[in-house]
Amino acid sequence: MQIYPDKLASHLKQSLASTYLVAGDEALLQSDACKLIREKAAEKGFNDVQRVEQDNNFSWPAWLASCNELSLFGDQRLLELRLSSSKIGVEGSNAICQYMADPPPDTVLLISAPRVSGKPKWVSTIASNGIQVPIYPLSSEQLPQWLIQRATAHRLKLSRDAAALLAERIEGNLMAAVQELEKLSLAKMPATRAADQATAPLVEIDVKTIDEAVTDNARFSAFDMLDHALKVNSLAACRALAHIREEGQDPAAILGAVAFELRRLATLLEYQQKNQLQAGLKAERIFLANKQATLRNAMARLKPQDLERCIALASKADLMGKRGNANLAFTFIEMILLRLAGQPLATERAVLPEL
């Protein structure tokens, strides 16, 4: 049987199967699912835990033989097999199918694996006789609600706008999201004993708190600078850049943000040209209403040539930074900001005469 991660907890409240396969490429969701199964197994008395990793010394016959050995102390066993690849070949498939044909008593088998392609025989066998838990990345629509639910584990209550902004900032990186929630919890939770924190009321987190906390607490971050430019506020954008320079930042430190924003703008422009901008905003995980409005306005005035010139300027800025000419690199970045703000410098023609 197939059970999706959001239904796994409900399933485990009812029963514990003898075999589980948790497979997918989203490491955090996979870890969460395995943790739930381990906790249920421990609750049911499966205290003899034996873990095996599929490494260079791994042997399928040896693994199968160890599975058929009785527990040293006669305890119920939880056997964990962590596969480095879901392509386990004929030998691996036969070993798992042989195990499933006659599983040892008082034993739960938990297999974790990367994403499975197709329907190999061993996976179908587990799905028919045990539980398959497929792990998929969260969609843009699912992510904010997942963050709201996850925050409660850290005694935090995210508003919907706060969850939307956090989803946008972490760009689908669930590990980064959890790290941000942990930092917020440490900063916002009152200094009480761990036992008391479990029953303490949730701390409410609004969009302003997320905006301040998830940008490295920098008043003028690279993304703030770009937002000013997209809002056609060239003065604020250039002031933000000047502030970053005064802090002694290397141009390479902000070129990553610049490149990311330019790639996103280029993608959105393609959607705009197909009259599918709303679909593009969802695909790029842009949920916050204010940010959507800013980008809609930007898409209405920016042309493909604008982005082509910005990308060319970013390339030159990167080259100058690598050559140690930080001043010229920052000059090129300022040119990018002014073009995004709709006020390109005439000196651009000297730098990019061919475009």
CATH class, range 143-213 = mainly alpha
CA triplet 128, 79, 22: central angle to 5 degrees?
Answer: 50
CA triplet 138, 119, 52: central angle to 5 degrees?
Answer: 75
Mean pLDDT lowest for which of 13-17, 232-236, 243-247, 307-311?
243-247
Give the whole-number percent of the chain exceeding pLDDT 90: 52
User: Chain-wide mean pLDDT for the chain?
Assistant: 87
**pLDDT given for residue 283 in this prediction:** 83
Decide which of 217 and 288 is more confident. Answer: 288
**pLDDT band, very low/low/confident/very high, at 220 (cuts 50, 70, 90):** very low
Domain ranges across the chain = 5-135, 143-213, 222-351
**pLDDT given for residue 216 in this prediction:** 45
CB-based contacts of 160, cutoff 8 Å, min separation 6: 144, 148
**pLDDT given for residue 27 in this prediction:** 84
Does domain 5-135 correspond to CATH entry 3.40.50.300? Answer: yes
**pLDDT given for residue 77 in this prediction:** 92
Average pLDDT over residues 186-190: 70
**Separation of alpha carbons 299 and 273, rounded Å:** 9
Kindly state the helix (H) or strand (E) to which residue 135 belongs, with its residue range: strand 131-135
Whether pLDDT at 195 is above 70: no
Whether pLDDT at 217 is above 60: no
If you ran DSSP here, which 8-state letter would residue 154 be given? T
Find the DSSP H helices in the chain.
Answer: 5-14, 27-43, 60-68, 89-101, 121-129, 143-152, 160-170, 174-188, 194-197, 207-213, 222-230, 234-246, 251-273, 277-283, 289-301, 304-322, 326-340, 348-351
For 273-286, give the DSSP string.
HTT-HHHHHHHTT-
List the CATH code of the domain at 222-351: 1.20.272.10
φ, ψ dihedrals at 131, nearest 5°? -125, 125
**pLDDT given for residue 231 in this prediction:** 93
- Fold match between domain 5-135 and domain 143-213: no
| Interval 310-347: pLDDT, tens | 999 999 999 998 898 999 999 999 999 999 999 998 88
Average pLDDT over residues 4-15: 92
CA distances from 77 to 8, 103, 275 (A): 21, 12, 57
